[in-house]
Amino acid sequence: MAGSLEQAKRLHERLTGVPPSPATTVLTDMAESITAGDAKTAAYLAMENNAFYDVTLVSWAAPWTNRDRTVFVPLNDYTATVVGLVRDEGDFRGLLFENILYVGNGVTPAYAVNSNAHYEEISRRALPLKTTLVKTTQQGIPAEATAGVITSRAASKAFFIAGTNRAQLRFTLLNHLCLDLEQLHDVTLSPDRIRQDVSRSPGGDSRAFLNGCMGCHTGMDPLAQAFAYYNYSYDADNDLTGENGQLQYNADGMLDAETGTRVQAKYHFNSATFLPGFITPDDHWDNYWREGVNANLGWDAALSGAGVGAKSMAKELAYSEAFASCQATKVFKAMCFREPANSADRQQLANMVSDFKRQSYNAKELFADAAIYCMGE
């Protein structure tokens, strides 16, 4: 029952977190558009406000950059790249695989592969991201090794540090397909690519592997092989949290001292756990989840489901139906402050996904559609 002015105010607040400035005509302009049946134009007017970038988008993306999935982290290259790509209305699928990076124009200190000081300075000076960020390419690794925000410094520090690089895949699935490994569990697939560090009889009971561990690792390990040449390198003795570390990639001709190949030593950790297990020889990946119950994630038939390196593997994920659906769901929650709860909400999500695709995966369309849907609540 709200009038156009009230709806315009709610729409603006949902998109930006702040009311329209009384010193401008934006509220009346938005209301006029709503009255004329063009709420989409009203939403785009609201998204011209700096707060849409500095608050809404930063808060939306920040949890994807850390293992705790918290918003309370400094601005970093991952978050800045999300903001820049949305601002430029680019194909949001490229977030996972393009050679892309957004930095602050003219900001000192300049971007560095071993420091976050550049982005912390942007925050300290409260520079508006809408006008400050400029698009560039990643540094420190070959162009063919870049994979969007996956190879950003923030994601590398969070998910390539120590471990076995499975974390990078798991959090990419969580953040961009809205699925954790338990939801992808399938014990019907071949375990031939599960690495040596996974026990086939944990606790002395092989049933635990056959009915538990195997269901995740059969799909995860063949995909995580795409990250075989990556590591987050830092001085563990003097830099416990890795604040001064950087992404390290074994390019062609670079051999790891322990493996004798380009494969990072972490892929051979705990190899004695199950010696007949898979020994990673390179970064060739396969998507076993194209078969079985996870075929319903909508894998792109134009892609082969196999390849070499992180870039092609990330494209496999980004071109899935699950990726598009996940972005719509995340935006719905951000704009409506709740989970989709009924058939009308589910239909709205389907409409958002269709619009997202039709508009060349422009993420602004998702924000506009979701905010309009909830502007009367």
Q: Using one digit for the tens of pLDDT, what is the confidence trace for 248-287?
A: 999 999 999 999 999 999 999 999 999 999 999 999 999 9
Per-residue confidence at 3, pLDDT binned at 50, 70, 90? confident
Angle, alpha carbons 313-318-323 (nearest 5°): 135
Q: Using one digit for the tens of pLDDT, what is the confidence trace for 158-205?
A: 999 999 999 999 999 999 999 999 999 999 999 999 999 999 999 999
Beta bridge partners of 345: none
Angle, alpha carbons 77-169-289 (nearest 5°): 140
Lowest mean pLDDT among 18-27, 123-132, 222-231: 18-27
What is the maximal distance between C-alpha atoms in the chain?
71
Per-residue confidence at 153, pLDDT binned at 50, 70, 90? very high
Per-residue confidence at 346, pLDDT binned at 50, 70, 90? very high
User: In 291-375, which residue ranges form alpha helices assigned H by DSSP?
Assistant: 309-318, 321-336, 343-358, 363-374
Q: Rounded to whole angstroms, what are the CA distances from 124 to 60, 74, 128, 238, 292? A: 20, 10, 11, 26, 50
Return the pLDDT at 376. 75
Q: Using one digit for the tens of pLDDT, what is the confidence trace for 40-55?
A: 999 999 999 999 999 9
> Mean pLDDT, to the nearest integer, of 26-44?
97
Return the pLDDT at 2. 67
Whether the per-residue pLDDT at 377 is higher than 90: the answer is no
> Mean pLDDT, to the nearest integer, of 66-76?
98
The pTM of this model reads 0.97
Q: Using one digit for the tens of pLDDT, what is the confidence trace for 208-244?
A: 999 999 999 999 999 999 999 999 999 999 998 999 9
Q: Residue 15: what are its φ and ψ, rounded to 5°?
A: -80, -30
Task: Please tell me what DSSP assigns to residue 278.
Answer: B
Q: Is the peptide bond before 109 cis (omega within 30 degrees of 0)?
A: yes
Distance CA 316, CA 351 (A): 23
Per-residue confidence at 88, pLDDT binned at 50, 70, 90? very high
Q: Which of helix, strand or coil describes residue 145?
A: helix
Cα–chain-centroid distance for residue 59? Answer: 14
Distance CA 308, CA 295 (A): 21
Cα pseudo-dihedral 34, 36, 38, 43, rounded to 10: -30
Whole-number mean pLDDT of the chain? 97
Q: Using one digit for the tens of pLDDT, what is the confidence trace for 98-126?
A: 999 999 999 999 999 999 999 999 999 99
